[in-house]
Amino acid sequence: MNNTVIITGASGGIGSSIARKFAEKGWNIALMYFNSQTEAESLKKELESSGSKIYCRKCDVSDINQVNDFVREAEENLGEITALVNNAGVSLQKLFCDVTDEEAQKIFDINVKGVFNSSKAVLPAMIRRKSGKIVNVSSMWGICGASCEVHYSASKAAVIGFTKALAKEVGPSSVNVNCVAPGLIDTKMNSHLDSEAIKMFVDEIPLMRIGTAHDVAEMVYFLCSDASDYITGQTFSVDGGIVI
């Protein structure tokens, strides 16, 4: 029986790279997206052409009913869920006092509530089978914080705390929960940075380059594979050493 992974935020730069890594390893993949239907459908066709079985559907991670429906349909189409990658997220560059209540709510609905919802939807079956992997995508800003990204930083710090607590709760059921904290990655989320800003970042990175989505995908896959069976509750920085 093939392994099956659900990837939230699958149509973005990091999400699509994660999906390609799992396809390379022969997994069935459930692609969850919200805004980027064209990109998601294109990714679905690409992965199917490589031989993977794919389920793809729009879903609002902040809506528990939609998430439950997605998980149920993914299981019906692909089989039991082996792993969940909570990758969906939004950011906002704005002074703390200028962020509206609506903007703040959106960040926490997607970045925190979305992680809670997706995890809650897959866990009962994982606990019953005494097997499963959950990988949450946080950020280096969840570790050290960022000026003008206070709400984003706080939401990603919450993901790290959630990872530790849930790992303790479901560990006795042989479910592993870990976290990946990417640094500056070459994706659309960082497209607002000009060349000068990127150079300033690179000057602070020991490995002297920004990261790629592939760098993140490699770590995510490892944490969903059998090679990580004795690892849980941990946050792994994929940031070139900028947070040391």
CATH code given to domain 4-238 = 3.40.50.720
- Backbone phi and psi for residue 2, each to the nearest 5 degrees, phi listed first: -70, 150
pLDDT at 192 over 80: no
Rounded to whole angstroms, the Cα distance separating 171 from 42 reads: 37
Report pLDDT digits (tens) over 208-234: 999 999 999 999 999 999 999 999 999
What's the average model confidence in pLDDT over 123-138? 99
Task: Take residue 157 and report the two structure tokens written for it.
Answer: 């710090």
What is the three-class DSSP state of 33?
Answer: strand
Q: Could you say which of 33, 55, 152, 221 is catalytic?
A: 152
- Per residue in 22-34, pLDDT (tens digit) is 999 999 999 999 9
Mean of pLDDT values over 51-57: 97
On whether the CB atoms of residues 151 and 108 are closer than 8 A, the answer is yes
Q: Specify the pLDDT at position 21.
A: 98
Residue 58: CB atoms within 10 A of its CB come to: 15
User: CA 88, CA 155: separation in Å to the nearest integer?
Assistant: 12
CA angle 103, 105, 106 (to 5 degrees): 65
User: What value does the mean pLDDT take over residues 56-75?
Assistant: 99
Q: Is the pLDDT of residue 166 over 90?
A: yes
Asked whether the beta carbons of 123 and 116 are under 8 A apart, the reply is no
Does residue 152 have an active-site annotation?
yes
Radius of gyration of the chain (CA): 17
- Write out the DSSP string of 164-205: HHHHHHHGGGTEEEEEEEE-SBSSGGGTT--HHHHHHHHHH-
* pLDDT for the residue 185: 93
Q: Where are the alpha helices (DSSP H) in 114-149?
A: 114-129, 141-144
Percent pLDDT > 70 in the chain is 99
Q: Quote the Cα angle for 177-179-181, to 5°.
A: 180
Number of C-alpha atoms within 13 angstroms, CB side, residue 147? 0
Residue 60 pLDDT class (50, 70, 90 cuts): very high
Residue 209's SS3 state is coil
pLDDT of 198 reads 86
Give residue-wise pLDDT tens across range 100-117: 999 999 999 999 999 999
pLDDT for residue 178 is more than 90: yes
What is the three-state SS of 35-97? CCHHHHHHHHHHHHHCCCCEEEEECCCCCHHHHHHHHHHHHHHHCCCCEEEECCCCCCCCCHH
**Average pLDDT over the chain, rounded to an integer:** 96
| Residue 1 pLDDT | 63
The per-residue pLDDT for 71 is 99
Helices 13-24 + 37-49 axis angle, to 10: 20
Domain ranges of the chain: 4-238
pLDDT over 90 (residue 18): yes
Q: In what order do the strands lie in the sheet with 83-86?
A: 54-58, 28-33, 4-8, 83-86, 132-137, 175-182, 235-238
pLDDT at 188: 72
Q: Is the pLDDT of residue 39 over 80?
A: yes
Asked if residue 131 has pLDDT above 90, the reply is: yes
The 8-class DSSP code of residue 134 comes to E
